[in-house]
């Protein structure tokens, strides 16, 4: 195998992994899973004298047929997801002309319940920042808004300073597909954002100009990766032992609303889901909680 062939196969993969890290802030373990899946596929392709960017649908199907008898459905599903995501990236970057994974189907898996936090754990997390410090006050405002509104982390960090009204208690959000929606944030989050705007944001910017609501000392907007590390740090300070990410707070927002009687359609609108079936998984979370309450408190539970 020539050095040119090796460069052909490894370079797109390396660039793809860098892209995942920069764009999505994925953990080291997740990135390693992507790399392992794709490297193993690449090594098998070499036996067919084909590189990753030359593979077609038949190659993918043959490889999956070899892997399927020896792997769990969840492992195959992850492998298919890795392959699909790699080729979608290659197509978008004009590395390939056609996506060979387009017709490849994943094995059907039982739908897993989203990880969430109970209300006390959320309170502990929201109380972790030091509000006497400008950075801590910013972080407090971000956490409060995230939990109060159920925003995606990308939506949170992209909010402009003119897109939030603390007086009306709403924030204008641009979500997936560039769809804009107005989301209520409640009095508590509105109060913390007002305090951040008055006392912390000018101190952090130090006369720099920025259109972003949540800013860093460099005068730039907070990034998804930076906020991901930030929330991990506050989870440790709060003594939370379970895995925490910005998305977990979004799940907590939806679950707690349903636990307190919110209508599913309302939760769908607040989350910005285009299809209510995406929102319905949260009803399973609420239902499990109701079952536990019934078993504890009902005389025939």
Please say if 70 is a catalytic residue: no
Residues 222 and 265 in one domain: yes
User: Does any domain span residue 97?
Assistant: no
Residue 45 sits in a domain whose CATH number is: 1.10.150.130
Residue 203 sits in a domain whose CATH number is: 1.10.443.10
Rounded Cα distance, 10 and 39, in Å: 8
- Active-site residue identified among 232, 247, 284, 289: 247
- Active-site residue identified among 138, 152, 201, 251: 152
- Active-site residue identified among 59, 273, 284, 289: 273
Number of structural domains the chain divides into: 2
Residues 130 and 17 in one domain: no
Residues 148 and 188 in one domain: yes
Please say if 273 is a catalytic residue: yes
Closest C-alpha among 112, 139, 115 to residue 126: 139
Closest C-alpha among 93, 91, 92, 68 to residue 79: 68
What's the pLDDT score for residue 4? 39
123: domain range? 119-296
Please say if 247 is a catalytic residue: yes
**φ/ψ (deg, to 5) at 106:** -90, 155
Please say if 72 is a catalytic residue: no
Please say if 152 is a catalytic residue: yes
Q: Which of 92, 107, 135 is the last residue of a domain?
A: 92
What's the pLDDT score for residue 284? 57
From first to last of its 301 residues, the chain has per-residue pLDDT tens of 333 333 344 578 888 988 888 777 777 888 899 999 999 999 999 999 999 999 999 999 999 889 888 778 778 888 998 999 999 999 988 999 999 998 887 766 555 555 678 899 999 999 999 999 999 999 999 999 999 888 889 999 999 999 999 999 999 988 877 788 888 898 999 999 999 999 999 999 999 999 999 999 999 999 999 999 999 999 999 999 888 888 888 888 888 887 777 776 766 777 775 555 555 655 555 555 555 544 665 565 5
Task: Kindly tell me the sign of the dihedral angle through the C-alpha atoms of 77, 101, 103, 67.
Answer: negative
């Amino acid at each position: 195998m020539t050095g040119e062939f090796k460069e052909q196969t490894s370079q797109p993969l390396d660039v793809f992994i860098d892209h995942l890290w920069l764009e999505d802030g994925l953990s080291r373990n997740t990135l390693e899973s992507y790399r392992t899946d794709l490297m193993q596929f690449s090594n098998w392709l070499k036996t067919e004298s084909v590189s990753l960017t030359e593979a077609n649908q038949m190659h993918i199907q043959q490889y999956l047929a070899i892997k399927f008898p020896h792997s769990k459905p969840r492992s195959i599903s992850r492998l298919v997801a890795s392959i699909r995501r790699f080729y979608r990236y290659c197509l978008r970057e004009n590395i390939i002309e056609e996506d060979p994974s387009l017709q490849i189907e994943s094995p059907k898996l039982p739908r897993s319940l989203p990880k969430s936090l109970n209300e006390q754990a959320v309170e502990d997390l929201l109380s972790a920042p030091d509000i006497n410090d400008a950075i801590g006050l910013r972080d407090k405002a971000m956490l409060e808004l995230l939990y109060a509104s159920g925003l995606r982390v990308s939506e949170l960090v992209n909010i402009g300073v003119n897109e939030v009204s603390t007086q009306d208690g709403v924030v204008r959000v641009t979500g997936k597909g560039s769809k804009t929606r107005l989301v209520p944030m409640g009095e508590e989050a509105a109060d913390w954002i007002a305090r951040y705007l008055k006392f912390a944001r000018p101190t952090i910017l130090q006369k720099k100009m920025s259109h972003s609501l949540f800013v860093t000392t460099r005068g730039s907007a907070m990034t998804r990766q930076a906020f991901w590390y930030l929330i991990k740090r506050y989870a440790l300070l709060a003594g939370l032992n379970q895995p925490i990410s910005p998305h977990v707070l979004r799940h907590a927002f939806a679950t707690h609303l349903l636990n307190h009687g919110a209508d599913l359609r309302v939760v769908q609108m607040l989350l910005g889901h285009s299809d209510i079936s995406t929102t319905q998984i949260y009803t399973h979370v609420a239902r499990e909680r109701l079952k536990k309450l019934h078993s504890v408190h009902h005389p025939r539970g």
